[in-house]
Amino acid sequence: MSPIIDARGLTVSYRVGSASLARLRRRPDPVVHAIDEIDLVVERGASVGIVGESGCGKSTLAKALVGLAPLSAGTFALDGEQLGTRRTPQQTRRIQMVFQDPSASLNPSMTIGQTLRELLRVHDMVPAEQVHQRAGELLELVELPVSLLNAYPRRLSGGQRQRVGIARALALEPEVLVADESVAALDVSVQAAILNLLQKLRTELGLTLLFISHDLAVVRHISDRVVVMYLGKVVEDRLTEDLFRDPRHPYTAALLASAPRMGVERRSGDTALGSEPGSLHSIPSGCRFHPRCPIAQDLCRETEPALLGPTAAQHAACHFAWTNRPDESAHRGGGEPDQGRLVRMVTR
């Protein structure tokens, strides 16, 4: 069976200034790559988490997959069918998105019912006389009362709006659901309910889920596999359990170490990563992470590491991911998470 998502070399670039001005000053074309030659292959029914800091390109990747950001290079095949930015309605339906901010992602001048029925009609999802009933079913699917069909979004709580956002995506009966920070704006207890709903829908409807988030605990909960991005590149791509137990890229380790956790004593100055994140406008040479990396070597400053690994499900883009670290004290032992070591290394 072919993978449901087969993306190769996905690149989304933005022009950030005048090309003619740059030519006058004999500088290269002012272009930044929000995502830079990303490969992503996902099996049907999988749940993949995509994490990274702001500016790492995770949202751009989501937009590129659903056709909201034009590709500058690369190919994207959904279940063997090539999809571009311009898609037929049939192609559009197959991959749908749930947005981040539930208060901004619903048209305030349309009722919930109008929003859902519009999609059902435009896409001819059900015969005209069943449109009304189907809209109600969609609300039931996301565990909302059917009476909300006549309500305007401003009357709904954040959690309810996000459920409507999910119902809207599901109206087109997609095979892939892309959730872009879909619980980030919600309170913890509401977030839990939405995560449970997404899990339930995934199993019941056999959806493939791409879950984009900055929150590692949430990603750990909902994904079987995690893709870590840094400055437009994938730096690590592993099964969730493996990645959290034994991160192979120093950036992943730092991310894990910096997430606040209960019951972990911190000393006054402890921080996992000292410096500011890099900028897409001035991509470092070699490994993009090297200016912040606690174990960077000369090699890292010169050569960009490839995304490699011993098995198909284990990839990391670090020269030292699968070998002994150059720093002898960093030699890993046992299966214990070694974020502590990284923390120590940075602070002293």
* Region 197-226 residues binding other proteins, contact defined as CB under 8 A: 199, 214, 216-218, 220-222
**Of 151 and 330, CB closest to other proteins:** 151
Task: Give the dihedral sign, CA 72/76/81/86.
Answer: negative
Which range, of 11-19, 203-211, 269-277, 313-321, touches other proteins by CB under 8 A? 269-277
Assigned token pair, 118: 């519009």
Instruction: Give DSSP secondary structure letters for 299-335.
Output: HHHHSPPP-B-SSTTEEE--TTSSS--SSGGG---SS
Nearer to other proteins, 13 or 100 (CB): 100
Pick the piece of the chain touching other proteins (CB under 8 A) from 25-33, 73-81, 260-268, 312-320.
Answer: 260-268
Q: Where are the alpha helices (DSSP H) in the chain?
A: 19-24, 58-66, 89-94, 112-122, 131-141, 158-171, 188-205, 216-222, 240-245, 250-258, 298-302, 339-347
Q: By rule CB under 8 A, what count of residues binds other proteins?
A: 86
95-98 sheet: strands from edge to edge: 95-98, 176-180, 208-213, 47-51, 225-230, 233-239, 314-316
CB 323 within 8 A of CB 337: no
- 180, 99 Cβ separation under 8 angstroms: yes
Interaction between residue 89 and other proteins (CB under 8 A): yes
| Minimum gap (Å) between residue 247 Cβ and other proteins | 13
Residue from 20, 109, 282, 323 touching other proteins (CB under 8 A): that is 109
Contact status: 334 vs other proteins (CB under 8 A) = no
**Cα separations in angstroms, 47 against 80, 140, 178, 248:** 19, 23, 10, 21
Nearer of residues 37 and 245 to other proteins, judged by Cβ: 245
Of 100, 162, 208, 252, the one binding other proteins by CB under 8 A: 100
CB of 324 to other proteins, least distance (A): 26
Cα angle vertex 163, ends 173, 46, to 5°? 50
Which span (8-16, 35-43, 268-276, 282-290) binds other proteins, by CB under 8 A? 268-276
* Closest alpha carbon to 69 in 54, 53, 58: 58
Which residues inside 225-254 make contact with other proteins, applying CB under 8 A? Answer: 240-241, 244, 254
Token pair of 293, please?
């990396």
- For position 119 contacting other proteins by CB under 8 A, the verdict is yes
> Could you tell me the smallest distance in angstroms from the CB atom of residue 53 to other proteins?
4
DSSP one-letter code for 287: S
Within residues 128-157, the interface with other proteins by CB under 8 A covers 147-148, 150-152, 155-157
300-324 exposure pattern, b = at least 16 Cβ within 10 A, e = fewer: beeeebebebeeeebbbbbbbbeee
Pick the binder of other proteins from 123, 132, 301, 344 (CB under 8 A): 123
Kindly tell me which residue out of 93, 132, 134, 301 binds other proteins, with binding defined by CB under 8 A: 93
User: Taking contact as CB under 8 A, which single stretch among the options 11-19, 41-49, 74-82, 108-116 is the one that binds other proteins?
Assistant: 108-116
Distance in angstroms (rounded) separating the CA atoms of residues 341 and 250: 11
250, 96 contact by CB (below 8 A): no
Cβ partners under 8 Å of residue 274, min gap 6: 292, 346
Query: Rule CB under 8 A: is residue 257 a binding residue for other proteins?
Result: yes
For the segment 180-199, give every residue that binds other proteins (CB under 8 A).
187-193, 195-196, 199
Name which of 102 and 305 has its Cβ closer to other proteins. 102
Can you tell me the distance from the alpha carbon of 236 to that of 87, in angstroms, rounded to the nearest whole number? 30
Among 32, 41, 77, 110, binds other proteins (CB under 8 A): 110
**Minimum CB–partner distance for residue 154 and other proteins (Å):** 8
Exactly one of 12, 34, 66, 227 binds other proteins (CB under 8 A); that residue is: 66
Rule CB under 8 A: say whether 344 interacts with other proteins.
Answer: no
The answer to whether residue 108 forms part of the interface with other proteins (CB under 8 A) is yes
